[in-house]
Amino acid sequence: MTTTSLRPSHGDIMDRTRSGMLLAGGDYSFKGRGGTTFEDRAEPDWTSEMFGARIPETAARGKALFWEGAPAEHIFQIVEGVVRLFRIFPDGRRVVMGFAFPGDVLGIAVKDRYLFTAEAVTPVRMRRASRERLSAQLAEQPQVAAIIFDRMRDELCAVQDQMLLLLCQAAETRIVKFLVRVARKSPGAIEHGEEFELPMLRTDIADHLGLTMETVCRTMTKLRRDGLIAMRGPHKIQIRNARRLLEAAGREETDDADEAWG
Amino acid sequence: MTTTSLRPSHGDIMDRTRSGMLLAGGDYSFKGRGGTTFEDRAEPDWTSEMFGARIPETAARGKALFWEGAPAEHIFQIVEGVVRLFRIFPDGRRVVMGFAFPGDVLGIAVKDRYLFTAEAVTPVRMRRASRERLSAQLAEQPQVAAIIFDRMRDELCAVQDQMLLLLCQAAETRIVKFLVRVARKSPGAIEHGEEFELPMLRTDIADHLGLTMETVCRTMTKLRRDGLIAMRGPHKIQIRNARRLLEAAGREETDDADEAWG
DNA sequence: CGATGCGTTGACATGCCTCAACCTGAGTGG
DNA sequence: CCACTCAGGTTGAGGCATGTCAACGCATCG
């Protein structure tokens, strides 16, 4: 869990590479995904034959995996690290559509061009497969198509979930829910109050939740003062009172929500 | 175009019927869809063999096509009228995920249970097909699967689009964008300033845009006072200054946006 | 005629944004 | 080793847009 503090040699390989495609952030909708890197997962799924067992490529922090509008030639699977997915608008506004975590696949739901830019938040390791290979697999192996189909449904649910979060929710609720979602990826973070990584920048979070960086800061400070969380630097978070935190998430996060979307 | 003023005999058939499944609102992302009813469309697509040529069922205003959480047994295609798709939260909050218009298909992206309730905003005519039939078609006819796949991508884009609308957008921008989207469905509404139908309730719009009913009212009154639109009753809208209206939508709506998602 | 559902408008409170100052740690160069 | 710079983060003061609460309008319906 040294993503943030890691100083990668350099990210030559991915530097300015244009490729891949995206499926946004299937991130949130999966349950029980443990571990930090993808290899930890127990799921021996379609991705192994899709992406092969080659040594993953790497991308240094801040490097783009692909750009919004570029021809979508590849799909990517994140092996380690975190990626932000965002669009820039003519007026300069940035919207972070989501974040991709280990195990997530980018570029499946796309037609011919990437819908947004994917940028490494932390040093990233990833695997790549050509779009053609995906099509071939889809045609040959019906069960792969079914899995992809399912994935897209999950994806759809995740985006809708995010939409719900943005609707009629106070800033604190949004931030707490976001923290809980990220914490869920680190086993023990919620149940045992173990420190977990919040690698993205405050501005990333703000642009993701439709808030300003200042509001994110203030709210997290408030959560800290109220004893719900503790912080060791901006990116090391610890949940100190899970019950109250989940309450602050507005109840949905504790029981249903994830269930409801299944 | 008499949807709102129509007084249907009554909606016995659909009353409390539990069935179908949903694809949310593929609504916004389609271009060039003209006409009021689905039959007007030139697209001789998969839906004809899927749904057959039977006489469409009807649902009276306010009746549910299916309920959130109910087993998803059918898919529906809206032939005429407008449907709202929403979820209710434990705290009583309602979120309108989207609206379904003629031609839209509900229930494709669902697994086994409906993700939200679909309710007739206006008297609705619709066609129904069983989930099994969908599966059969998918297995037999690869090209149908491809179309469905495409639809889901469109769907995903539409939801993301809606998400963007909710992020860092002022109330007026959201409402104007929404108006433009609905107006797009009526040819001539934007280019020639012809009156068009805005069948949904103010509360529907509010719950869809993450605003209050009051804010929706006030903003629309402001648009009227500023000469951008005219209103003949709450549901008959006329665009009086398309240029300024599209400007108020924040530029994205005029050129890109729809393009960007293609 | 009153009841009801939906829409509109007003007065007021407040949560978030804006603008601005300052902090902190890491990298850099003398 | 220190001074400097820079990016990211934190905190504060103040304003404004939107939510809240409340009254009223206006159709429809029994």
Q: What is the mean pLDDT of residues B223-247?
A: 97
Q: How far apart are CA B224 and CA A81, in angstroms?
A: 50
Polymer length of chain B: 262
CA-to-C1' distance for B122 and D26, Å? 21
Q: Look at residue A75 and tell me whether its pLDDT is greater than 80.
A: yes
Q: Stated in angstroms, how far is A216 CA from C18 C1'?
A: 15
The Cα B184–Cα A74 span in angstroms is: 34
Here the tokens at position A86 are 């965002």
B71: DSSP letter: B
- Mean pLDDT value of segment A208-216: 97
Amino acid at B170: A
Q: Give the pLDDT score at B37.
A: 57
Average pLDDT of the segment spanning A4-18? 29
Query: Cα–Cα distance between A181 and A189 in angstroms, integer?
Result: 11
The lowest-confidence range among A35-49, A74-88, A138-152, B13-27 is B13-27
Cα distance between residue A191 and residue A213, in whole Å: 28
Judging by beta carbons within 10 Å of its beta carbon (0-12, 13-18, 19+), is residue A2 exposed, middle or buried? exposed
User: What's the CA–C1' distance between A218 and C17, in Å?
Assistant: 13
Contacts of strand D, CB cut-off 7 Å? A 168, 201-203, 213-214, 216-218, 220-221, 231, 234-235; B 7, 170-172, 210-212, 214-215, 219
Per-residue burial over A203-235, b = 16 or more CB atoms within 10 Å of its CB, e = otherwise: ebbbbbbbbeeebbeebbeebeeeebbeeeeeb
Q: At what angle do helices A171-184 and A213-225 cross, to 10 degrees?
A: 80
The Cα–Cα gap between A238 and A222 comes to 14
Higher pLDDT, A139 or B26: A139
The average confidence (pLDDT) of chain A is 80
* Partners of B196 in the β-ladder: B237
Read off the pLDDT of each residue in B98-127 and give the average, rounded to a whole number. Answer: 93
Percent of chain B with pLDDT over 90: 55
Q: B158 pairs with which residues across the strands?
A: none
Q: What's chain B's Rg over C-alpha atoms? A: 18
Percent composition of chain B: helix, strand, coil (DSSP 3-state, to 5): 35, 20, 45
Distance from C-alpha of B157 to C-alpha of B163, rounded to nearest angstrom: 10
CB contact under 8 Å between A159 and B164, yes or no, is: no
A193 vs B149, residue with greater confidence: A193
pLDDT higher than threshold 70 for residue B254? no
Which region, left, alpha or beta, applies to residue B167 given φ > 0 means left and ψ of -120 to 50 means alpha?
beta
**Cβ neighbours of A109 in B, within 8 Å:** 152-153, 156
A98 to chain B: nearest residue by CA? B160
Band of pLDDT at residue B251, cut at 50, 70 and 90: low
B26-165: CATH class? mainly beta
Band of the pLDDT at B120, cuts 50, 70, 90? very high
Burial (0-12, 13-18, 19+ Cβ within 10 Å), A71 = middle
A229-231 and A236-239 strand pairing: antiparallel
Please state the rounded mean pLDDT for residues B95-111: 91
pLDDT-based confidence at A251, cuts 50/70/90? low
Whether the CB-CB separation of A63 and A10 falls below 8 Å is answered with: no
Tell me the three state secondary structure of residue B2.
coil
Is it the case that residue B237 has pLDDT exceeding 50?
yes
Q: Is the pLDDT of residue A41 over 70?
A: no
Distance of CA A231 to the CA centre of its chain: 21
Chain A residues bordering chain B (beta-carbon distance below 8 Å): 24, 69, 87, 89-91, 93, 95, 97, 109-111, 115, 139, 145, 149-150, 152-153, 155-157, 159-160, 162-164, 166-168, 207, 210, 250-252, 256, 260-262
Distance CA A186, CA B179 (A): 43
| Residue labelled with tokens 């935190």 | A245
Q: How many contacts does A have with B, using Cβ atoms within 8 A?
A: 94
Q: Could you read off the pLDDT of B12-60 as tens digits, one per residue?
A: 222 222 222 334 333 333 333 334 455 554 444 677 778 877 788 999 9
pLDDT confidence bin for A17, thresholds 50/70/90? very low
What local confidence, expressed as pLDDT, does residue B55 receive? 81
Q: Which of residues 181-240 of B touch strand C (CB under 7 A)?
A: 201-203, 213-214, 217-218, 220-221, 231, 234-235
Mean pLDDT score, B140-146: 79
- pLDDT of the residue at A58: 94
Phi and psi dihedrals of B222, rounded to 5?
A: -60, -45
pLDDT value of residue A140: 80
Tokens of A120: 């490494």
What mean pLDDT comes out for the span A33-53?
60
- Residue A70 reports pLDDT greater than 50: yes
Q: Look at residue A194 and tell me whether its pLDDT is greater than 80.
A: yes
CATH class of the region A168-261: mainly alpha
Subunit contact B157:A115, Cβ cutoff 8 A = yes
Residue nearest to nucleotide D11 (CA to C1'): A218
Contacts by B244-250, CB closer than 8 A, 24 or more apart: B245/B176, B245/B179, B245/B180, B246/B180, B248/B172, B248/B173, B248/B176, B248/B223, B249/B173, B249/B176, B249/B177, B249/B180, B250/A91, B250/B169, B250/B173, B250/B176, B250/B177
Q: Quick one: pLDDT band at residue B167, thresholds 50, 70, 90?
A: confident
Look at A95 and B164 and tell me if their CB atoms are within 8 Å. yes
Per-residue model confidence (pLDDT) at position A155: 81
Protein residue at shortest CA distance from C1' of C16:
A215
Which of A43-47, A132-136, B37-41 shows the lowest mean pLDDT across its residues? Answer: B37-41
- Give the model's pLDDT for residue B165: 86
Partners of B145 on chain A (C-beta within 8 Å) are: 145
Residue B134 clears pLDDT 50, i.e. is over it: yes
How is chain B split into domains, by residue range?
26-165, 168-261
pLDDT of residue A198: 98
Nearest-5° Cα angle at A79, A78 to A80: 100
For residue B216, the distance in angstroms to the closest alpha carbon of chain A comes to 14
Query: What pLDDT score does B40 carry?
Result: 52
Per-residue pLDDT at A246:
94
pLDDT confidence of residue B117: 96
Q: Contact, B24 vs A163, CB < 8 A?
A: no
pLDDT given for residue A129 in this prediction? 94
Measured CA to CA, the distance from residue B95 to residue B106 in angstroms comes to 17
Question: For all residues of chain B together, what is the average pLDDT?
Answer: 80
Chain D, protein-covered positions (CB within 7 A): 8-13, 17-22, 29
d(CA A48, CA A50) in angstroms, rounded, equals 5
CB contact under 8 A, B149 and A153: no
pLDDT digits (tens, 9 = 90+) for A144-169: 887 888 888 888 888 888 888 898 68
CA of B214 to C1' of D23 (A): 14
* φ, ψ of residue A65 in degrees (nearest 5): -80, -40
> In angstroms, rounded to a whole number, what is the distance separating the alpha carbons of residues B213 and B219?
10
As ranges, strand C nucleotides with an atom below 7 A of a protein CB are 6-11, 15-20, 27
Distance CA A226, CA A230 (A): 10
**pLDDT score of A192 more than 70:** yes
Angle among Cα A89, A95, A97 to the nearest 5 degrees reads 130
Lowest mean per-residue pLDDT among A53-57, A70-74, B3-7: B3-7
Integer CA distances (angstroms), A33 to A29, A120, A150, A181, in order: 10, 21, 17, 12
Pick the residue with more confidence: A202 or A16?
A: A202
The answer, yes or no, to whether residue A11 has pLDDT greater than 80, is: no
Suggest the residue from A88, A138, A168 to mutate for an interface test with chain B (most B CBs closer than 10 A): A168
Q: What band does A254 get if pLDDT is binned at 50, 70 and 90?
A: very low
* B142 or B255: which leads in pLDDT: B142
Q: Determine which of A156, A169, A204 to mutate to test the interface with B (most B C-beta atoms within 10 Å).
A: A156
* Residue A189 pLDDT > 60: yes
Closest CA to B38 of B29, B27, B201: B27
pLDDT at A260: 29
CATH of domain A26-159: 2.60.120.10
Q: B230 or A163: which carries more pLDDT confidence?
A: B230
